[in-house]
A and B are shown apart, each in its own frame.
Chain A
């Protein structure tokens, strides 16, 4: 399995109900699991962006991207290696408020991790940390002894170094079909 690489697949789509199902069905059919998935609005109004992280061969990811792009509501799909993208993940950590006062060490942990405190209440406080996987993971490990009430990490969000050119594609279409 040594030729398996982590790839980030970026998909620009119309915002239609059921598209997530259609995209994930392409992976399901080939027995491939996502490492992570996130969806959001893109830089273009009415255009959505999926970011899917998978571990597979380049030949495999090429075929997957072709199958994704073939879907009617998909404008374009790309795949990139980690080096070709800027990427981050976000994590939230819910900790008992009492530990903040009783355990001095926790304050240093938070300070050193460059995490933000999002909210503090009498019962709990919530820390947010954005970064690479190993960074959010380190913070989770160091907070665990203080009793993590909840932990959640987002899927990868990623921006490519190269230009995507989606607006150009859509503008060309607009000019070709003016009526």
Chain B
């Protein structure tokens, strides 16, 4: 029975009431001994707070991440102590490096048992410290409201990130007088640095003098919900704009000033021209090594303008000559009001020329293949066609991820869900569950390799149980394709432990009562994608693709962005 008449409640019930106060209506998790009091309350509140039982705690974190990425809300994952808590760690680390707002709640052994090596006791605070934005262990029920309020505030504000709250079992049982106040500030924490007009003016002046400027935007545009402000800035200046993998979908892929992806498997033009531009305007991105290649030769000729919310990212990898600290949602409009529009005709022509080169040597073969084997690229193009370029793509890690990000079309933001910084194989299947629940009206297509799929394949059970209408596409080349590609290019084709003898994926999907089909031939592909997209239920499609195909262009590790290879 819910104690809605009284505020003298248990810590466990307080947790649920805190979640409701934070407008949480969906959480992912897995029960166990040390978190049973909270699950018992979840049972009582199941009409207002839905709990999705994943098949592994890692799946709960990735689902919460997927949910956060498509909904813009804080994802919540819950697990018991010990192994339940440690199984969350990969997802927490992924959320930390990709700035995903997430609150994880773990049960812990009773406070009198802390440090006694009790059953399922683990120091999850110690373990999760390096990969959380904040964490805290609650040992008294009375701490619950304030700490959970703080957890949600910290997870979502400023540069978002994961927060872990560990609650001892006695704190879940104890009764106290509950009252909740939302957290609005923490005295030792400045979520958004104050915007300085001088920095904006200085940046505008340097942009106005540029003759060959280029924008690189990242996920900061999406996290700051600054898509409109960003588009206005791009159009007001007329400057060509390229994206990092996590920035993808913030600006339509069809926008005339969108010149493609930077980085290791990004587009030819923006990578080469990074080392030719005179002003590089970085918006909400952190110059990850997969973006910059060799830092010693990265954009050395350029004046760098860096719009950034996290002061620790400024000058971390690339020196910012003109930093603009603050939320880009506020700094971009100020900047837009000060910049001039120019045509940059010859400069933009260079992007077009490089795109033509890339089209002829790479893209054409990827998306309109004439050879017998199916390509990953033609599958992505097929999905674009049948979703009218408006799907949410959830990708795992590897070749399929690079191909999907290169060829997927996007007209709406928050549509590209992938594991960027951590590169977590196994991310996509559970993340797709969360992505669909975070955006139930949208078509969510998970594109996964045969390797990563098997890392979290058990989440088919979650999809089956909840009838989550995600479309699962496994691009099967019977290899850990990206590692195999590196072995081919840099290790003289010594394919050490990258070949996979795979099970019958269609039979496995059918075992979970998920409709499934396998495609081996080009002539069957279009109809299969069409059937899959038309289905209003979960659907599994295995596409057997060319086994030893490589992803190009490519910047080899340690090479300069301008040394990008087309083959």
Contact = CB atoms under 8 A, between A and B. Distances in A.
B184 A74 contact: no
B80 interface: no
A18 B312 CA distance: 21
A173 B185 contact: yes
A63 B188 contact: no
Contacts of A176: 185
B359 interface: no
A66 B325 CA distance: 14
Interface stretch (B127-135, B344-352, B381-389, B548-556): B127-135
A21 B187 CA distance: 21
B129 A63 contact: no
Contacts of A31: none
Given A63-B316, A66-B311, A72 B129 contact: no
Give the dominant DSSP class at B's interface: mixed
A17 B421 CA distance: 29
A18 B154 contact: no
A17 B137 contact: yes
A75 B187 contact: yes
Contacts of A29: 130
A17 B188 CA distance: 15
Interface in B165-214: 184-189
A18 B133 contact: no
B57 interface: no
A73 B126 contact: no
Contacts of B186: 72
Contacts of B189: 72-73
A25 B315 CA distance: 21
A174 B188 CA distance: 11
Contacts of B187: 75, 170, 173-174, 177
Interface string A39-51: 0000000000000
Interface in B14-48: none
B311 A18 contact: no
Given A18-B125, A29-B130, A72-B134, A67 B188 contact: no
A89 interface: no
Contact of B312 (A17, A69, A174): A69
B310 A70 contact: yes
Interface string B336-354: 0000000000000000000
Chain A: number of interface residues, binned into ranges: 20 to 34
A174 B185 CA distance: 10
B188 A18 contact: no
Interface string A151-166: 0000000000000000
Contacts of B130: 22, 25, 28-29
B185 A18 contact: no
A22 B130 CA distance: 7
A66 B313 CA distance: 9
Nearest to A18: B125
29 contacts: A16-B136, A17-B125, A17-B137, A18-B125, A18-B129, A18-B137, A21-B125, A22-B129, A22-B130, A25-B129, A25-B130, A28-B130, A62-B315, A63-B312, A66-B311, A67-B312, A69-B311, A70-B310, A70-B311, A70-B312, A72-B154, A72-B186, A72-B189, A73-B134, A73-B189, A170-B187, A174-B187, A177-B185, A177-B187
User: Which 6 A-B residue pairs are closest in the complex by CB-CB distance?
Assistant: A66-B312, A25-B130, A72-B134, A75-B188, A173-B187, A70-B312
Given A66-B316, A75-B187, A173-B187, 11 more contacts: A17-B125, A18-B135, A18-B137, A21-B125, A21-B129, A25-B130, A28-B130, A29-B130, A69-B312, A72-B186, A177-B184
